Amino acid sequence: MSTLAETVSDSVVITRRNLIKVKRVPDLIVFATLSPIMFVVLFRYVFGGAIQGLPPGVSYAEFLLPGIFAQTVVFGSTVTGASIAEDLQKGLIDRFRSLPMSRSAVLIGRTVADLGLNVISIVVMALTGLVVGWRINSSIAEAIGGFLLLLVFAFAISWLMAMVGLLVRTPEVVNNASFIVIFPLTFIADTFVPLETFPTVLRHFAEWNPVSTVVRAARELFGNMPAGLPEPDAWSLQNPVLYTLLWAVAILAVFVPLSVRAYLRTSSR
């Protein structure tokens, strides 16, 4: 049984190993930076003129960017599952088993490294957003809180994806399965258009979708909430920061122990 200090030390080593891999495989960092730029430009200039439902005079760029942030970090978290499945497929996990190291360190190092990739994505998106007209209209502390909330939610999703990677065990299937679930979650949400434009059934789903609340929380913390939109009736959207944190804590409480247990079972086969 590893001590806390040993687990932290081993996790740092695995995190460093995964980040070095990114450096040696530049394709990963290239796509991690190009995708956010593409989404920002695409939605800002291609779809922005067709988006309806915002009050007159409201900047779509300021409404859009928090949604793009949330979508990108959620999709970025799927890298965790695919990477773990790839390591299993290549037999790397069996090599880790032969080392005197904490078993949970492999998963912790993987999720923390992918959190680092999400940090890079957010920085790139923020800089691109400033170019296309996005602005932070709140205090520095609130803005930092907005970015941290996005990263906490992304970290939680990474652990969910780690569980998927351990169960599915092939990167291609992980990517396909993740897309089928995450794509509707990020679009049936307060991501790109106001919820008032949704049909009734979809609107009720979106009101309690944690992606909607992380987006709304980010808008509030960045000072990007449009004036003139009706106040939400759902408790989740009235308390988006708390609701998002509750989801993040719940996901971590469930999937951290489940993922570690699945890793132990998988690596012992």
Q: What is the pLDDT of residues 42-61, one digit of tens each?
A: 888 877 666 666 667 677 88
The reported pLDDT for the residue numbered 52 is 62
The reported pLDDT for the residue numbered 19 is 84
How far apart CA 140 and CA 181 sit, in angstroms, is 34
How large is the average pLDDT for residues 175-199? 87
Specify the amino acid at residue 51.
I
Give the global pTM. Answer: 0.90
Candidates 80, 107, 93; CA nearest to 14 is: 107
Return the minimum-mean-pLDDT range out of 32-36, 102-106, 243-247.
Answer: 32-36
Q: Which residue has the higher pLDDT, 221 or 101?
A: 221
As a whole number of Å, the CA-based R_g of the chain is 19
Mean pLDDT of the chain: 87
Per-residue pLDDT for 244 more than 90?
yes
For the segment 12-30, what is each residue's pLDDT rounded down to a tens digit?
988 988 888 777 776 777 7
Percent over 70 (pLDDT), the chain: 93
Candidates 18, 12, 19; CA nearest to 86 is: 18
Q: Which residue has the higher pLDDT, 253 or 97?
A: 253
